[in-house]
Amino acid sequence: MSIEKHCGYVAIIGRPNVGKSTLLNHLLGQKISITSRKPQTTRHRLLGIKTEADTQIVYVDTPGLHQRHHNAMNRYLNRAATNSMVGVDVIVWLVEALHWTKEDTFVLNTLKQSSAPIILGVNKIDKISDKNALLPYLKEVATRYDFLEIIPISASKGHNLVELETKITQLLPITTFLFPEEQITDRTERFLAAEFIREKLVRRLGAELPYRLTVEIEHFSSDKNLTHIAALIWVEQHGQKVIVIGKKGKILKAVGEEARKEMEAMLECKVFLQLWVKVKKGWCDNERALQQLGYSEE
């Protein structure tokens, strides 16, 4: 007698910086999506695949939905997030406990166009000192939409994530697995290497600059117990290049060392990493340049 298998796609949706990538990493038990305290760190749709016994949940991590449309990058991020909701079996919408913004309203209006069941994950409950304040908030958000379930969670601490996944599993169709049981993402090691570098840059640099840079892997090859990686960091202006390199190359060196350690942990071998910084004027607002740099919609 064969065991019935549950399998399906679950989109993790929300405004920027609400904890979507942190949630994905915690659910998977390992890091595949980069995180930082700065909004819009996630730029690509990324699958995180979790297979346990008779269940395979294919999580879709998405860029934060936002109202700014002033350049090609912003428009790409919103398209990537919106397109990720098409054809999924469940949507997990993250909001921040005790907070409601205009962008949350924007996300809600976008979600109303989807027919998928929506679970509302009220995130960052670990940051609330007075837990009594949470109940009125939960009652208020419950009036905004007919959510299938409202679950208070902490993506960073892991609170109530078992309850969240139990509810998700109940909603998944009975069908065969979509991916091999050992696969954890649809992205290549080459893609993840570029993301590790970009994460270190985002975390180290000031407020504006991270949105004006991207990383392209120029060379990636493995030889016995050593992987050679050469990466280009693209910025828009010469002044930005100076900032990324830092005084006497300090910032670039630190970024390289931090990224290399994460790559070695991922690849389980030594990594020889080389970084260069180059200027490509206006790439953020150029559709063709974005596509050349890997910002294409799958």
pLDDT band at residue 40 under the 50/70/90 scheme = confident
Whether 157 and 61 map to the same domain: the answer is yes
Examine residue 55 and state whether it is found in any structural domain, yes or no. Answer: yes
Q: Which domain holds residue 63?
A: 6-171
Examine the pLDDT at 245 and tell me if it is beyond 90. Answer: yes
Whether 86 and 161 map to the same domain: the answer is yes
Tell which residue, 111, 228, 118, 113, has the closest CA to residue 168.
118
Query: Which of 136, 171, 206 is at the close of a domain?
Result: 171
Write the pLDDT tens digit of every residue in 53-65: 999 999 999 999 9
Tell which residue, 248, 22, 19, 13, has the closest CA to residue 112.
13
Examine residue 180 and state whether it is found in any structural domain, yes or no. Answer: no
CA torsion 161-171-78-230 (nearest 10°) is 60
Query: Which of 107, 136, 171 is at the close of a domain?
Result: 171
Examine the pLDDT at 164 and tell me if it is beyond 70. Answer: yes
Tell which residue, 270, 197, 147, has the closest CA to residue 34.
197
pLDDT at 68: 72
Give the CATH number of the domain where residue 232 resides: 3.30.300.20
Whether 146 and 223 map to the same domain: the answer is no
The DSSP annotation for 231-290 comes to EEEEESSHHHHHHHH-GGGHHHHHHHHHHHHHHHHHHTSEEEEEEEEEE-TTGGG-HHHH
Write the pLDDT tens digit of every residue in 89-111: 999 999 999 999 999 999 999 99
Whether 152 and 213 map to the same domain: the answer is no
Whether 35 and 76 map to the same domain: the answer is yes
Q: How many structural domains comprise the chain?
A: 2
pLDDT band at residue 210 under the 50/70/90 scheme = confident
pLDDT above 90 as % of the chain: 81
CA within 13 Å, CB half, 157: 11
Examine residue 179 and state whether it is found in any structural domain, yes or no. Answer: no
pLDDT at 7: 98
Whether 236 and 104 map to the same domain: the answer is no
Whether 160 and 42 map to the same domain: the answer is yes
Whether 276 and 195 map to the same domain: the answer is yes
pLDDT at 69: 67
pLDDT at 297: 67
Whether 37 and 149 map to the same domain: the answer is yes
Q: Edge-to-edge strand order for the sheet containing 46-52?
A: 46-52, 55-61, 6-13, 90-96, 118-123, 149-152
Give the CATH number of the domain where residue 44 resides: 3.40.50.300
Examine residue 240 and state whether it is found in any structural domain, yes or no. Answer: yes
Whether 23 and 121 map to the same domain: the answer is yes
pLDDT at 211: 81
pLDDT at 38: 85
Examine residue 138 and state whether it is found in any structural domain, yes or no. Answer: yes
Instruction: Give 296 or 151, the one with higher predicted confidence.
Output: 151
Cα 239 to Cα 36: distance, rounded to the nearest angstrom: 23
Query: Which of 119, 142, 171 is at the close of a domain?
Result: 171
